[in-house]
Amino acid sequence: MTFTAQETKAHYVPRDLPSHIQHYINGQFVDSVGGKTFDVLDPVSNQNYATAAAGQKEDIDLAVAAAREAFTSGPWPKMKPRERARVLNKIADAVEAQEERLAELETFDTGLPITQAKGQALRAAENFRFFADLIVAQFDDAMKVPGSQINYVNRKPIGVAGLITPWNTPFMLESWKLAPALATGNTVVLKPAEFTPLSASLWATIFKDAGLPDGVFNLVNGLGEEAGDALVKHPDVPLISFTGETTTGQTIFRNAAANLKGLSMELGGKSPCVVFADADLDAAIDSALFGVFSLNGERCTAGSRILVERAIYDEFCEKYAARAKNIVVGDPHDPKTQVGALVHPEHYEKVASYVEIGKSEGRLLAGGGRPENLPAGLNNSNYIAPTVFADVAPDARIFQEEIFGPVVAITPFENDDEALALANNTKYGLAAYIWTQNLTRAHNFSQNVEAGMVWLNSHNVRDLRTPFGGVKASGLGHEGGYRSIDFYTDQQAVHITLGSVHTPKFGSIEASAANEG
């Protein structure tokens, strides 16, 4: 794999980058109480371009106090749905108006290709429009017994929602949580990933200009083990929504138990892409390439285990590897680039270590390290060429463990039963992709695969009304559509008597006389 994009051009740096990124608490940009900071780097050059305020427990305390005051005394939770929807639509308008700038900053901060970052900005706007529509159209159950009683459900916002978001497509994934949490009347404290705080800082101005009251949105930057840990443990935060890797999710689960917090966690994945011999092979290859190499392979739903029926296995491997070798790796800001730089040198080292492990666990068909002919100054950068291993055994580490980079393992199978056993042979269960023209097989396989989401003959194009989440080690609970409304609200059952009700009269004279008789 040769580094082909913008070989002769200097690395692009956006204009007007901040040199320091602050918290946003109760309508004000502020530094940490104790003055702590951490460095933020550009993943292409690995040079620090800014510092960010490093939140500690005292900063989380201030943010939660502001959010709690805005919830108990402010107007936001009491607004009519239409009033909140107007604000959400203004937020969506602002995101769309800044699409180019948002994408530029996201690309610089994450290493994602610019064409893919633009799509994330538009998806973020759509999340706010979707939940603006949903809360206006929301209705709840009413149960009636004529002449006796009416029972209805009263939905109420819960309080302060703690939102902890990851570094892959950060702005869009923040919108997944912010939109439903705010739409349902909660207030929030957002703790973005420490690798990528740049785009998160834009929410403050967007929300302020759209008319969101002070204190409703608060942002605290910082490390997970400091700011994130304090947010999870805070007794005035009844909800935690977390997206990230599984071991961190387990820690959050333990720490949330003391206060019995509501939890929604979308965790790691090692999703199978199963290709049967009767599949449209060209379409399957297109999808299987996009599914693992888009977003630099740093995606939770990546189909990073490709299971191929033996009858077409050799043909698939040959065509897939040839295409992988032609993927354009380059400067993330170049529109031709299809795979950019990994987000951080720490993550690069992890992915590179799995590439080396894979060389002893499979047959290397493409990639295997940094691209060839990297421009001067990028020899120690975070680039990894799209890497393909074939003939990978199901007990191999690259088959079982989440790599979260542009690395794929291909394994053959003989029949449907073996394909299902291989697909389910990991601790994860987030997504699955099935390629077959056999309708009966498609439905039976989909219903038996251990995955929270299944795509038949497509990559992960998702309607916002559908639930998003995994099973096994891939998550706890679901969000998306009405599932998000359920998570961010309490459902209170109200019972009203319409007629006379017979109630036993414990302790009365009439009851005593009846018992004596």
The SS3 of residue 24 is strand
Cβ 297 vs Cβ 474: under 8 Å: no
Catalytic site includes residue 402: no
> What is d(CA 4, CA 19) in angstroms, rounded to the nearest whole number?
31
Active site residue 126: no
| Beta partners for residue 364, in sequence order | 389
Distance CA 357, CA 352 (A): 9
Is residue 164 within 8 A of residue 231, CB to CB? The reply is yes
Residues contacting residue 278 through CB under 8 Å, at least 6 positions apart: 436, 437, 438
What does residue 156 show for φ and ψ, rounded to 5 degrees?
-135, 140
CA 462, 468, 471, 473 dihedral sign is positive
2 DSSP assignment: B
Task: Mention every residue, 6+ apart, whose C-beta is less than 8 A from residue 73.
Answer: none
DSSP sequence for 105-153: HHHHHH---HHHHHHHHHHHHHHHHHHHHHHHH----EEEETTTEEEEE
Q: Please identify which of the residues 273, 298, 300, 309 carries the catalytic annotation.
A: 300
Nearest to 348 by CA among 384, 398, 379, 324: 384
Q: Which one from 106, 266, 298, 450 is the annotated catalytic residue?
A: 266
Enter the tokens of residue 111: 């290493």
What's at 197, amino acid-wise?
P
Write down the residue that tokens 């073996």 correspond to.
418
Beta bridge partners of 409: 305, 389
The answer to whether the CB of 373 falls within 8 A of the CB of 383 is no
Catalytic residue numbers read 266, 300
